[in-house]
């Protein structure tokens, strides 16, 4: 944990950071209340990552009792609650549910997401099985799930993140010293700067693709990411954006 904090502190001092971004990273380095909506493996992986950095974490579920074992093993800074309770508790929210359930979960949070950064890990994966390793989406190429969620909760500050990699590699991914790329988007510059700080502390390079409409391109990366898994049982890869100097 000390190493992670030192790494984040080093990022704060980088001369190419804007004053706003440096300020937001400094805020992240302080203890925060993180709300993780979802009881699956993605929520568990990200909850552990935040706990390891020293933050307080509440996980939300329709049935909080099924997270009792996780709470008992996660330590004194971990708690569980309903979706509404978790959203109210949190300063930063992680949406880590199946895409088909995302709207229902956002509705259950009421107005408790207003003004807060919401890390949207969801993808609009259809229920149909893959065809030659290729999954289907329930959105079309000119829309995205995150756009729909932003319209549903306009005062929340959604940022697409952690949507194009598996849960086992979300925190401190080890690729021989090469930091993989996480593609993000959203309409709030402040929320994206806060997200960049989180990704940096979790071992990722951030590639900001712009406004919420860019989720139309980012969400299908999950389909691409899954193909090697279905075809070759390879589930530990990640994307890297290479740039020519």
- Average pLDDT estimate for 232-236: 98
Residue 142: closest CA among 215, 225, 224, 221:
215
- Is the predicted pLDDT of residue 197 greater than 60, yes or no? yes
Q: Dig out the tokens for 124 from the structure.
A: 């609009």
Q: What's the pLDDT score for residue 11?
A: 38
Whether 167 contacts 41, CB under 8 Å? yes
Q: What's the pLDDT score for residue 186?
A: 98
Note the pTM of the prediction, 2 decimals: 0.88
What is the C-alpha to C-alpha distance for residues 49 and 141, in angstroms, rounded to an integer? 33
Whether 162 contacts 184, CB under 8 Å? no
- Average pLDDT estimate for 23-49: 85
- Is the predicted pLDDT of residue 209 greater than 60, yes or no? yes
How many CB atoms lie under 10 A from the CB of residue 215?
A: 32
Map out the domains of the chain with their CATH numbers. 2-232 (3.40.50.720)
Q: Mind listing the pLDDT tens digit for each residue in 59-108?
A: 999 999 999 999 999 999 999 999 999 999 999 999 999 999 999 999 99
Q: Dig out the tokens for 52 from the structure.
A: 């390891």
Tell how strand 92-95 and strand 117-120 pair up. Answer: parallel
Q: Grade residue 3 by pLDDT with cuts at 50, 70 and 90.
A: very low
What is the C-alpha to C-alpha distance for residues 141 and 157, in angstroms, rounded to an integer? 23
């Amino acid at each position: 944990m000390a190493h992670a904090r030192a790494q984040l502190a080093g990022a704060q001092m980088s001369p190419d950071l804007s004053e706003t971004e440096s300020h937001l990273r400094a805020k992240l380095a302080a203890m925060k209340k993180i709300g993780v909506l979802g009881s699956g493996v993605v929520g568990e992986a990200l909850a552990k990552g935040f706990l390891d950095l020293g933050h307080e974490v509440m996980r939300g579920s329709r049935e909080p009792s099924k997270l009792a074992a996780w709470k008992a093993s996660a330590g004194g800074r971990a708690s569980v609650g309903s979706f509404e309770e978790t959203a109210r508790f949190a300063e930063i929210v992680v949406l880590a549910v199946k895409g088909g359930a995302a709207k229902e979960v956002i509705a259950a949070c009421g107005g408790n997401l207003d003004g807060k950064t919401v890390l949207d890990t969801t993808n609009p994966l259809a229920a149909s099985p893959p065809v030659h390793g290729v999954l289907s989406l329930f959105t079309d190429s000119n829309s995205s799930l995150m756009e729909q969620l932003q319209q549903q909760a306009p005062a929340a500050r959604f940022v697409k993140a952690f949507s194009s990699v598996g849960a086992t590699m979300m925190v401190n991914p080890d690729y021989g010293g090469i930091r993989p790329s996480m593609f993000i988007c959203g309409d709030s510059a402040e929320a994206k700067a806060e997200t960049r700080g989180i990704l940096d502390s979790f071992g990722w390079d951030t590639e900001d693709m712009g406004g919420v409409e860019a989720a139309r391109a980012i969400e299908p990366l999950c389909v691409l990411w899954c193909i090697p898994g279905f075809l070759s049982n390879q589930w530990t890869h990640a994307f890297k954006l290479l740039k020519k100097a």
